[in-house]
Amino acid sequence: MKNTLCFLLLAGIHFVQAQDILHLKFSPEFKNAALNTDSLYLTSKGDSIRISSFRMYISSIEVIYKNGTTFKEKNSYHLLDIDDISSFDLELPASINNVQKIVFSIGVDSLASVSGALGGDLDPGKGMYWAWQSGYVNLKIEGTSPSCKTHKSEFGFHIGGYMHPFYALRTITLPVANTKEIEINIDLARFFENIDLSKSNSIMIPSKEAMKIADSCAKIFSVK
C-alpha cells in the first residue's frame, strides 16, 4: 500500500511538471514553404535567391497571461540557426494555461553586448559577435542571387548594433491562443519585400540602412 501511494505521488509530481512546459516553436519559411538552403526562391522584387545561411538571436522571452500575470525567462538568449533546425524549438518552464501574448526581442541587449566574452549561445565562437564596439549580430542572412553584381553573386545582411543611434534590438508582441505549443512563423519573403538586391546586397556594420531593416523585421513574425 505504501509503495502504491509513493508511486501515485511521484506520478502526480511528474504530471504537474509536464504541464508546466510551454513549447515555443519557430518555423522558418519562405512564402508558406519551409525554408531550405537548397531551394531557389523568388522575392517580391523579382530577384531569384538561394539562402545559404540564416541565424537570429531571440531574447528576453516573456509570456503574458489573461489574468495579468507574466513569466519572464531568465538568461533568455537563444541562437536560432538554419543549420541546426532543433535550435528553433524552445521549451519554457511556464504555464500553458490562459496564455494571451508572447513577447520577445530580436537580438542581444546592450548589457550582454558589453559584458565581455560569454558562453552558451552567446559564445563569440559561434560567429555572431563583431567586437565590443559593435556587439552582437542580431540577425544574419546570406546567400546568392544573379541580381547581385558582387563576387560569386553573393549577398549578406548582418544586422546589429547596441549603441545610439544604431540600436538594432527590436521587441515583438504577438497575441496567441491558449495552447501547449505556440508556433511562430518566420517568413523571410517579407524580409526581402523592400530590398532590391541589384542596389542593396551587403550590410555588415551598424548603420542607418541596418536600422531600417531592423524595423522591418517585426513584419516577418506571425502566429500559426
CA distance 103 to 68: 14
- Cα angle 154, 157, 162 (rounded to 5 degrees) comes to 155
* pLDDT at residue 134 greater than cutoff 90: no
| Whether residue 65 has pLDDT greater than 60 | yes
Q: How many residues does the chain have?
A: 224
One-letter amino acid at 121 equals D
Q: pLDDT-derived band of residue 117, with 50, 70 and 90 as boundaries? A: low
Phi, psi of 214 (to 5 degrees): -60, -40
Q: 92 or 19: which carries more pLDDT confidence?
A: 92
Summarised one tens digit per residue, pLDDT across range 27-58 is: 999 998 999 998 999 999 999 999 999 999 99
Given this model, what pLDDT does residue 6 score? Answer: 52
DSSP 164: T
| Cell numbers representing residue 222 in the block | 506571425
Residue pair 139/107 in contact by the 8 Å Cβ criterion: yes
Task: Place 113 in a pLDDT band, splitting at 50, 70 and 90.
Answer: confident
Looking at every residue in the chain, the average pLDDT score rounds to 90
- Chain segment 178-222, per-residue pLDDT in tens: 678 899 999 999 999 999 999 999 999 999 999 999 999 989 999
148-187 pLDDT, tens digit per residue, is 999 999 999 999 999 999 999 999 999 998 678 899 999 9
Percent of the chain with pLDDT over 70: 90
Between the CA of residue 52 and those of 49, 116, 128, 146, what are the distances in Å? 9, 29, 16, 14
Mean of the pLDDT values across residues 14-20?
A: 51
